[in-house]
Amino acid sequence: MTTEGSGGRAPTVRFARTGEVVVVTLDRPERLNAVNDALVRDLCDALARAGEELPSAVVLTGAGRAFCAGHDLKDAPEDEDDAAALARLDRLAEVTRRIRQLSMPVVAAVRGYALGAGFEFAICCDLVIADPGTVFGFPEVEVGLAVTGGVTHLLPAMVGPAKANELVFMGTRLDAHSAAALGLVNLVAEDPLARALEWANVLAGKPRRALALAKSCLAAGLTGGLEQAFTLETTASLALAATPAARAAAEAFRGRRGGGEPAV
């Protein structure tokens, strides 16, 4: 299935569902999936559709040789007034909002270039799997632009302020192993899409509500303090304790004899 482009144009994002897993594919391979306003609109639509269909996991990837090579400077808007620019930038921020607000985990399968907005799309996902040859980087400052997509919040939380400053100010390029060493990539794999689908199917076998509450608590932990974390964790624990999945797990554990497995 394919997400329709608005206004009758060709779509720039594909949406496909198999069982409990949705794959959202950036589909401008001739431009290395570089970001223009059409792609942002289609990506927001695809993420909204995922939120409506409620799969157990979403995989975000790119068609062809790259995940996303950043903003398409050849397709930049001309004679854009302030109101139009503000609306366009808010749509770009909406990509991060929608990924972070989805109740299910989103796994990025990354290869080739993940630059600028492409790097932003990757790190706003919950899990990132990258090909060894992937190149990550924020070139915005080099070309007189600003990072977007919540990077100024997410990146320092992930790598620390000093390293975030370096990556943004210097435009430092990272390979997949270097990004993994910084905590920006979970797994380096030769076929990131295949591994992302494996992980997504593992996630699909876990209790949906437990995953949703884990994701929301972890996201809140980026901005809240320790006491807020205690409150959110307690609320989630109480909400989950009475679910069928938790009761079944407790009964199964009690039914084991001499298994030597620790309790949670």
- Furthest C-alpha separation in the chain: 73
Q: pLDDT category, 230, cuts 50, 70, 90? A: confident
Q: 32: phi > 0 → left, psi -120 to 50 → alpha, else beta; which?
A: left
- Contact of 114 with 88, CB cutoff 8 Å: no
Neighbouring residues of 162: CB distance < 8 A, sequence distance ≥ 6:
none
Q: In what order do the strands lie in the sheet with 21-26?
A: 13-18, 21-26, 57-62, 106-110, 127-130, 187-188
> Tokens 């100010």 label which residue?
169
Tell me the C-alpha distance between 43 and 45, whole Å: 5
Give the residue numbers marked as catalytic.
Answer: 140
Q: Does the pLDDT of residue 10 top 90, yes or no?
A: no
Does the pTM of the predicted model rise above 0.75? yes
Residue limits of CATH 3.90.226.10 in the chain: 6-204
Q: Is the pLDDT of residue 194 over 70?
A: yes
Closest to 92 measured CA to CA, from 136, 159, 42, 21: 42
pLDDT tens, residue by residue, 95-153: 999 999 999 999 999 999 999 999 999 999 999 999 999 999 999 999 888 999 999 99
pLDDT of residue 74: 84
Beta pairing class for 187-188 and 13-18? unpaired
Here the tokens at position 138 are 């924020």
Percent over 70 (pLDDT), the chain: 86
Checking if the pLDDT of 178 tops 80, the result is yes
Give the number of C-alpha atoms closer than 13 A to the C-alpha of residue 15, restricted to the C-beta side: 19
Q: What is the spatial distance between Cα 259 and Cα 52, in angstroms, rounded to a whole number?
A: 41
Q: Which residue has the higher pLDDT, 84 or 52?
A: 52
- Asked whether the predicted pLDDT for residue 1 surpasses 90, the reply is no
Residue 52 vs residue 247, higher pLDDT: 52
Integer Cα distance of 209 and 243 in angstroms: 9
- Amino acid 229: pLDDT: 66
Domain 6-204: give its CATH superfamily: 2-enoyl-CoA Hydratase; Chain A, domain 1 (3.90.226.10)
Judged by average pLDDT, the poorest of 87-91, 134-138, 230-234 is: 230-234
247 vs 3: CA distance, rounded Å: 39
Average pLDDT over residues 67-96: 87
The CA distance from 7 to 188, in Å, is 39
